[in-house]
Structure 1
Amino acid sequence: MKNLILLAVLFVIICNDSIAQQNYYGVQNSKRKGMINAMMNPAEINNLTKKVEVSLFSFNLGLDNNVLSVQDIIDNPDVLENIFEDIEGPVNLRTDVSVMGPALGLRFNKWSFGLTTEIKAKADIIDFNPDLGSSIIESANNDNNQTIINIPDNQRVNATGWMEIGILAGRKIFDTDLHTLSVGANFKLLLPGSYTNFGMDNINATIIYSEDEVLLTDAQGSLNLSYDERLENDDDFNVEDDLWRGLSPSGLGIDLGVNYLLKRDNKAFLNLGLSLKNLGSMGMGNNQINKYYSMNIPQNEYFRTDDLEGSIEEIEQQLVDSGYFNITNNDADARINMPRTLSAYAEFSPVKIFQVSLYGQKRVSNENGNFNLSSADLLVLTPRLVLGKFELYSPWMQHQISGLTGGLGFQIGGFFVGSQSIITNVMNGNNRADVHMGFSLGFGS
Structure 2
Amino acid sequence: MKKTLLCLFSVIGISSFAQEHFSGINTSRRGGLLNADINPAELANMSSKYDVNVFNFSGNFANNKVAFGDFIDGGDDFENILFSGNENVNMRVDVEILGPALAFQVNKWAFAISSSAKVQASLVDINTTLGNAVTNGGVDNITEVYNILASENQRAAGISWGEIGLSIARELYDSEEHKISAGITFNLLFPGTYANMGASRFEGTITNNFGDVSLTDASAEVNIAYSGSLAGDFSESDNFTEFFAGGLNGFSTDIGVNYRWKDKSNFTLTKNSNDEDDNENNTLTFQYSDPRNYKLNAGLAIRNMGSMTFKDDNNESVNYELDVPTGEFLDLNQFEDAESIQDVEDILLQSGYLTMDEAAKDFKVKLPTVFSAYADVKLYGKFYATGFVQQKLNENNDNDQITVQNIVSVTPRYSTNFFEVYAPLANNEISGFTAGLGVRLGGFFIGSGSGISMLLDSDSKQADLYFGFRFGI
Which amino acid is 1:105 matched to?
Answer: A
**How far did 1:169 drift?**
0.2
**How far did 1:40 drift?**
1.1
Which residue is 1:257 aligned to? Answer: 256
Question: Against the structure 1 CA distance between its residues 281 and 331, is the aligned structure 2 distance closer, same or farther, given a 3 Å change threshold?
Answer: same
The alignment covers a number of residue pairs equal to 438
The yes-or-no answer on 1:438 pairing with 2:429 is no
Which residue is 2:36 aligned to? Answer: 38
Which residue is 1:342 aligned to? Answer: 371
Which amino acid is 1:296 matched to?
Answer: D
User: Of 276, 281, 284, which residue of structure 1 is paired with 2:302?
Assistant: 276
**How far did 1:327 drift?**
1.7
Give runs of aligned pairs for residues 53-202 of structure 1, distance below 5 A: 53-84=51-82, 87-136=85-134, 139-140=137-138, 143-202=142-201
Question: Against the structure 1 CA distance between its residues 317 and 358, is the aligned structure 2 distance closer, same or farther, given a 3 Å change threshold?
Answer: closer
Question: Against the structure 1 CA distance between its residues 241 and 397, is the aligned structure 2 distance closer, same or farther, given a 3 Å change threshold?
Answer: closer
Give runs of aligned pairs for residues 335-374 of structure 1, distance below 5 A: 335-374=364-403
The yes-or-no answer on 1:221 pairing with 2:220 is yes
Q: Distance in 2 between matches of 1:59 and 1:216?
A: 43
Question: Residue by residue, what CA displacement relative to the aligned partner does 1:25-50 show, whole Å, maximum 9, x if unpaired?
Answer: 11111111121001110000100110
Contact 1:139 1:209 survives alignment (8 Å): no
Q: Distance in 1 between matches of 2:420 and 2:237?
A: 44
Question: Against the structure 1 CA distance between its residues 343 and 433, is the aligned structure 2 distance closer, same or farther, given a 3 Å change threshold?
Answer: same
Give runs of aligned pairs for residues 304-343 of structure 1, distance below 5 A: 304-306=331-333, 324-332=353-361, 334-343=363-372
Give runs of aligned pairs for residues 298-309 of structure 1, distance below 5 A: 298-306=325-333
In percent, how many aligned pairs have the same letter?
32
**How far did 1:5 drift?**
7.7
**How far did 1:349 drift?**
1.1
Which amino acid is 2:466 matched to?
Answer: H
2:193 aligns to what SS in structure 1?
A: strand
Question: Against the structure 1 CA distance between its residues 393 and 315, is the aligned structure 2 distance closer, same or farther, given a 3 Å change threshold?
Answer: closer
**How far did 1:84 drift?**
4.6
**How far did 1:14 drift?**
4.2
Larger Cα Rg: Structure 1 or Structure 2? 2
Question: Against the structure 1 CA distance between its residues 160 and 421, is the aligned structure 2 distance closer, same or farther, given a 3 Å change threshold?
Answer: same
Which amino acid is 2:464 matched to?
Answer: D
Q: Distance in 2 between matches of 1:155 and 1:294?
A: 15
The yes-or-no answer on 1:396 pairing with 2:425 is yes
1:83 aligns to what SS in structure 2?
A: helix
Question: Against the structure 1 CA distance between its residues 210 and 15, is the aligned structure 2 distance closer, same or farther, given a 3 Å change threshold?
Answer: farther
Contact 1:135 1:147 survives alignment (8 Å): no
Which amino acid is 1:382 matched to?
Answer: T
Q: Distance in 2 between matches of 1:350 and 1:246?
A: 48
Which residue is 1:19 aligned to? Answer: 16
Calculate the TM-score normalised by the size of structure 1: 0.90
1:44 aligns to what SS in structure 2?
A: helix
Bigger mean CA deviation after superposition, 138-147 or 293-302: 138-147
Question: Residue by residue, what CA displacement relative to the aligned partner does 1:315-343 show, whole Å, maximum 9, x if unpaired?
Answer: 86875676532124522462000000000
Contact 2:64 2:461 survives alignment (8 Å): yes
Gaps of 5+ in 2: 265-288
Which residue is 2:439 aligned to? Answer: 410
Contact 2:224 2:345 survives alignment (8 Å): no
Q: CA RMSD in A?
A: 2.9
Q: Distance in 2 between matches of 1:231 and 1:355?
A: 44
Which amino acid is 1:68 matched to?
Answer: V
Which amino acid is 2:245 matched to?
Answer: G
Which residue is 2:316 aligned to? Answer: 289
Q: Distance in 2 between matches of 1:263 and 1:58?
A: 29
Which amino acid is 1:19 matched to?
Answer: S
Q: Distance in 1 between matches of 2:71 and 2:237?
A: 32
User: Of 420, 440, 445, which residue of structure 1 is paired with 2:449?
Assistant: 420
